[in-house]
Chain A
Amino acid sequence: MALINYATREVNCKIVYYGTGLGGKTTNLEFIHKQVPPHVRGEMVNLATPTERTLYFDFLSLDLGSVQGFKTRFALYTVPGQVEYNASRKLILNGVDGIVFVADSQQSRWSDNLASMQNMVDNLAEYGLNPDDVPWVLQLNKRDLPDISSLDELKHALNPKGIPTFPAIAHQGHGVFDTLKAVSRAVLARLSG
């Protein structure tokens, strides 16, 4: 649940980038970190293995400006995508306000995407939540690679309810900010009375 501080007039929201290993979650955060001016973001924190795979989480804070006199601050987290790190993924979902599910469009990762989506549903259930309770958006990443599934196929499999979906090439920045804007809007809209 977003933390509203009436004393400092701040709204703090937690957004988690979820998805299969090597799908591009960290790349999304790295691109955001590179693009936004230093005065609106903090330093990026990476807890990675020696081979630069996310071990626990990546973290980046962003100040997106003011709405209704409240400063909006977003804490962006990634989860480790590798199957064996489920305990960490579960912990990071604690208090989540919005989710970006980053799918890997390659045909070879089809079943990994489905497994990761199911894992997200299972882990949200541990906090008494289901995906309808949490604003989330879908990013279909790696659209520049050969042998990718079509957008329609991926949407059909991962997004039967028609949530906002964004094709992306995260390492080039395509779709990264569209995705971030959509999830931020959805989180703030949830707070709006």
Chain B
Amino acid sequence: MAKPSGNLVLTEAGVHALNALTGKLQQEIQARAVLLIEKSGQIITAQGQTSTLDTLSLAALISGSFASTKALARLLGEKHFKTLFQQGKSESIFVVQLETTDTLAVIFGPQATIGLVKFKTMQALDNINAQILALYTNKKPTLSNLSQSIDNLF
């Protein structure tokens, strides 16, 4: 699959499609949450028990943690580590890099095994990759007349 060029623009249809794919994955493995995280650490979509999680901080930390792993791989002469698994007593996180270098993180409890999580996540990956790749565009996203309203923020 080709590397994406341009900017990620989250259209309504695109987000619905990503929600459907990540929601299906979350249901299949009864994950606590499935987060799709843009490479800068911002949330693209979040499915599952998101109201009980600080998803913004989680996304920043998972993204930072995964970026460190990639830098670590380079130091060891590896091209990249494509996955990261953090195992806890009651919560674990499986993170995988997408073709776009964005990341997909699955947060799950003891009811799912890492084998199942890996298998189902990798199975879903092709469709998620294709969907997110389609949302990259060379057109710069803009919001018209924004500057007139900016002062209202402060």
Which residues of A are at the interface with B, using a C-beta cutoff of 8 A?
Answer: 1-8, 11-12, 14, 42-43, 45, 47, 56-57, 59, 61, 64-65, 67-68, 70, 72-73, 75, 77, 87-88, 91-92, 94-97, 177, 181, 184-185, 188-189, 191-193
Asked if residues B15 and A68 are in contact (CB atoms below 8 Å), the reply is no
Known: A5-B10, A189-B146. A87 touches B71 (CB 8 A): yes
Asked if residues B40 and A96 are in contact (CB atoms below 8 Å), the reply is yes
In the assembled complex, how far is the CB of residue B138 from the closest CB belonging to chain A, in whole angstroms?
A: 12
CA–CA, A38 and B104, complex, Å: 28
Asked if residues B54 and A192 are in contact (CB atoms below 8 Å), the reply is no
B150 partner, pick from A12, A47, A188, A193, beta carbons under 8 A = A188
CA–CA, A14 and B143, complex, Å: 17
Q: Check: B153 CB closer than 8 A to any chain A CB.
A: yes
Q: How many interface residues does B have (CB within 8 Å)?
A: 38
In the assembled complex, how far is the CB of residue B96 from the closest CB belonging to chain A, in whole angstroms?
A: 18
Closest to B18 in A: A7
Q: A6-B12, A43-B57 are in contact. List 15 more A-B contacts (CB 8 A).
A: A3-B40, A6-B15, A14-B40, A42-B54, A56-B64, A57-B60, A59-B60, A61-B57, A65-B152, A77-B60, A87-B71, A94-B40, A188-B146, A188-B147, A192-B143
Q: Check: B44 CB closer than 8 A to any chain A CB.
A: yes
- Chain B residue numbers with a CB within 8 Å of A95 are 38-42
- Chain A residue numbers with a CB within 8 Å of B133 are none
CA–CA, A162 and B61, complex, Å: 34
A192 partner, pick from B16, B60, B67, B146, beta carbons under 8 A = B146
Asked if residues A65 and B153 are in contact (CB atoms below 8 Å), the reply is yes
- Chain B residue numbers with a CB within 8 Å of A3 are 8, 10, 38, 40, 42, 44
Known: A43-B57, A61-B57, A75-B60. A192 touches B142 (CB 8 A): yes
B10 partner, pick from A4, A59, A92, beta carbons under 8 A = A4
B144 partner, pick from A1, A4, A12, A192, beta carbons under 8 A = A192
In the assembled complex, how far is the CB of residue B113 from the closest CB belonging to chain A, in whole angstroms?
A: 30
In the assembled complex, how far is the CB of residue B79 from the closest CB belonging to chain A, in whole angstroms?
A: 17
Asked if residues B147 and A2 are in contact (CB atoms below 8 Å), the reply is no
Known: A7-B16, A67-B152. A91 touches B68 (CB 8 A): yes
Asked if residues B142 and A91 are in contact (CB atoms below 8 Å), the reply is no
Q: Check: B149 CB closer than 8 A to any chain A CB.
A: yes
